Chains A and B, each alone.
Chain A
Amino acid sequence: MSQMARTPVPNSEVDVSPFNAWKSQLLEKKQPVKRLLHSDRATYNVLVIGSGHRITTNFIPALKSLESTFNVTGIWSRTIKHAKKVSDTVGWPVIEQLDKRSLDASDVIVVSITASATPQVLKTILETTDCSDKHLVIDTPVFAGFKQSLFTPLLRTFASVSVTEDYMNFPQYSLLRQQVNTGCIGPIKKVTMNNTGYLYHGLALGRSFFDFDLVRHTKKDPRGIHYTLDNGGAIELVLPYKRLAGSVTIEGENGSFHYVNSTDQTSANEILNRYESVITESWVNNTCNGFIVKTNNHCEYHKYSMKGLPMMACEESDRAFQACKTLGLIDVFKSLYDHNINSRYHFLQALYDNYVSHVSSRRAGKLVWDYRLIMHWLELVTLR
């Protein structure tokens, strides 16, 4: 009997568009490849630039928690008085001038200053020494305003650039990603952030569930901002933003998973009873000590502690939020020597989230017919 054949099912389509070919070539050539710090070293020298609230609240406890790996060799600030104040608290030597010697002594340069001043400081660093073997850790949103995107070539001169987008690394969101990545709810269709996820931080968090797929279209209405991604995924940012007092829902083909903020033991219990698959804070003696992950009526506790937590300079009421930020920052530092989600979040992604979230939240957003063009613009500028 002669052999029969099964009917072929179309499962893809031809894509020979020169634009897409150009795009993929560009991405292949110009996507910054993250080089990790040499693993043969026990410790790495860190130079900190900046002495503001962010340094005292998050960088000090994060670097203190990782002091067996990162050794801070100095802190420099435009206002030397502030640098000295930090030095008094934590003992980091004050550097009075950003000279070649102090820069050459460092493996990692941390820049946490106002975004508008960043290009000038980077220029000074690059004029002073060769940074091709230095790893830059820079705060979001990297640069201020669209005009400053012209400075992106400065960033390419470093061995690697890590952007401290710590919001997407908040422990509850890392746990949420871990859960949905097991495939328990099937392919992810939509991420909804209710009163949580500020501008570019929210967009970065949303896109982290879609492997940083680019935004194609956005829509703003009284409820919030809706992002449609290149591969059809959706992100909804429900306003107003209320820091931690909100929830994140991930909808997949086969179900949904939630993170819902609880403020005490009673609200945590209510949340655990209400949802089938949920993450919420774990409370002991009115203190949050980690998170509970509930799946199929099974609960897992994830406790968090930080060596540097007592050093966090913030109001008591702000402590929980700042603790999450610091834990997220620790993950960013870890990506310098080990791959994690931050390894894929390079400076182009951070700038993209910054510009897309700002444009889409304004009326001018209607004029942008395809938000992927913002990434192409950034790539073009970086290519210069």
Chain B
Amino acid sequence: MMNTSVEQPELKVADSLRQYGLALLDDLYTSEQIKSWNRLIDQHFQNTSPMERRYLNASDLLKLGIAAEVLSESLLETINDIMPDAALYHFHFYDIPGNTHTPHIHGQNGLKGWHRDDDCFFGWEKHRFHFISFFVYLTDVKSESGPFEIAPLNKDQALKNKTPTTKVLGPSGSNFIFDRTYWHRANPNLSEHNRRVIKLSFQNDYLPNDRINLEEFSALKRSHLTRSSLLKQWLMMKEA
């Protein structure tokens, strides 16, 4: 279970996203899958220093055999439920070294890393989701190991001190979706251990998408995975 030891009532994913900017999902992947992904990633990075920020793009994940498992039926269904016109624009793995005292992203922005992603639209079609991300933790994430944190302030509210926030804590395999237009941040990873995450981001397919044509997605487009029509849509592959 993720985030809290107290069992919490369930909400529809879309309602949770609207209300909190965050939807904590039940485990979509088995612990064996997570272990096997970690093993493959360890082998891939065996000759690099654990202090470097390690990164794998969609093409690397495909080669390692991880992409096919991440893009499971359950994930496709979940995303399709909340964003029927989803297109993919991030699909990568990264690993944040421990013993860091600033957030790895926007750490120097004077707001302790709190940000709303600037590739998003904020004031337009407020009733719809436009930019969402899906995270899977590949390592146990405690409060000191750089958890993702989000403030349930809607798009019109400024970030204020003392606003209650949710730090997403949980064992490896914990996964969740968040709305990228909400204020969020990565906490600094103060722990001794690296924090590993697989991240996918989606936007509506009618919005400009300058990432889906990058080389890293080409291999995915050529793979057998595109037998799924939904995945074809995610990769913005036009039907012949």
- Is B74's beta carbon under 8 Å from chain A? yes
Taken together as a complex, chains A and B put the C-alpha atoms of A18 and B109 apart, in Å, by: 12
Q: Would you give the shortest CB distance from B130 to chain A, in whole angstroms?
A: 19
- Is A222's beta carbon under 8 Å from chain B? no
Closest to A18 in B: B110
> Cβ of A8: which chain B residues have Cβ within 8 Å of it?
3, 8, 16, 20, 22, 24, 150, 152, 166, 168
Closest to B80 in A: A2
Q: A2-B78, A16-B114 are in contact. Are A11 and B12 (CB under 8 A)?
A: no
Q: A4-B26, A7-B16 are in contact. Are A12 and B166 (CB under 8 A)?
A: yes
Closest to B13 in A: A5
Taken together as a complex, chains A and B put the C-alpha atoms of A6 and B11 apart, in Å, by: 6
CB of A4 within 8 A of CB of B8, answer: no
Taken together as a complex, chains A and B put the C-alpha atoms of A11 and B4 apart, in Å, by: 9
Complex interface residues of chain B between 157 and 200 (CB less than 8 A to chain A) = 159-169, 176-177, 183
- Is A9's beta carbon under 8 Å from chain B? yes
> Cβ of A15: which chain B residues have Cβ within 8 Å of it?
112, 161-162
Taken together as a complex, chains A and B put the C-alpha atoms of A12 and B150 apart, in Å, by: 10
**Residue from A4, A13, A16 within 8 A of B111 (CB atoms):** A16
- Is B64's beta carbon under 8 Å from chain A? no
> Cβ of A18: which chain B residues have Cβ within 8 Å of it?
110
Taking residues whose C-beta sits less than 8 angstroms from the other chain, chain B's interface range is: 35 or more
Chain A contact residues, majority secondary structure = loop
**Residue from B2, B101, B176 within 8 A of A28 (CB atoms):** B101
CB of A7 within 8 A of CB of B9, answer: yes
CB of B161 within 8 A of CB of A17, answer: yes
CB of A12 within 8 A of CB of B77, answer: no
CB of A13 within 8 A of CB of B165, answer: yes
Q: Would you give the shortest CB distance from B7 to chain A, in whole angstroms?
A: 8
- Is B136's beta carbon under 8 Å from chain A? no
> Cβ of A28: which chain B residues have Cβ within 8 Å of it?
101
Closest to A15 in B: B161
- Is A10's beta carbon under 8 Å from chain B? yes
- Tell which of A2, A3, A18, A28 has the most Cβ of chain B within 10 Å: A3
Q: A8-B166, A11-B166 are in contact. Are A2 and B12 (CB under 8 A)?
A: yes
CB of A3 within 8 A of CB of B9, answer: no
**Cβ contacts A1-38/B at 8 Å (1 or 0 each):** 01111111111111111100100000010000000000
Closest to B183 in A: A14
Taken together as a complex, chains A and B put the C-alpha atoms of A8 and B152 apart, in Å, by: 10
Taken together as a complex, chains A and B put the C-alpha atoms of A28 and B188 apart, in Å, by: 13
Q: A14-B159, A14-B160, A21-B110 are in contact. Are A9 and B3 (CB under 8 A)?
A: yes
> Cβ of B177: which chain A residues have Cβ within 8 Å of it?
5
Taken together as a complex, chains A and B put the C-alpha atoms of A18 and B161 apart, in Å, by: 10
- Is B96's beta carbon under 8 Å from chain A? no
- Is B151's beta carbon under 8 Å from chain A? yes
- Is B210's beta carbon under 8 Å from chain A? no
CB of A14 within 8 A of CB of B162, answer: yes
- Is B149's beta carbon under 8 Å from chain A? yes
> Cβ of A6: which chain B residues have Cβ within 8 Å of it?
1-3, 8-11, 16, 24, 26
CB of A4 within 8 A of CB of B12, answer: yes
CB of B77 within 8 A of CB of A3, answer: yes
Q: Give 21 pairs: A residue, B residue, CB < 8 Å, sorted on A.
A: A3-B25, A3-B74, A4-B11, A5-B17, A5-B177, A6-B2, A6-B3, A6-B8, A6-B9, A6-B10, A6-B11, A6-B24, A9-B6, A10-B152, A11-B169, A12-B165, A14-B114, A14-B160, A15-B161, A15-B162, A17-B161
**Nearest 7 CB-CB pairings of A with B:** A10-B164, A5-B23, A5-B16, A4-B10, A7-B8, A3-B78, A8-B166
Q: A residues engaging B (CB < 8 A)?
A: 2-18, 21, 28
Q: B residues engaging A (CB < 8 A)?
A: 1-4, 6, 8-13, 15-17, 20, 22-26, 74, 77-78, 81, 101, 110-112, 114, 143, 149-152, 159-169, 176-177, 183
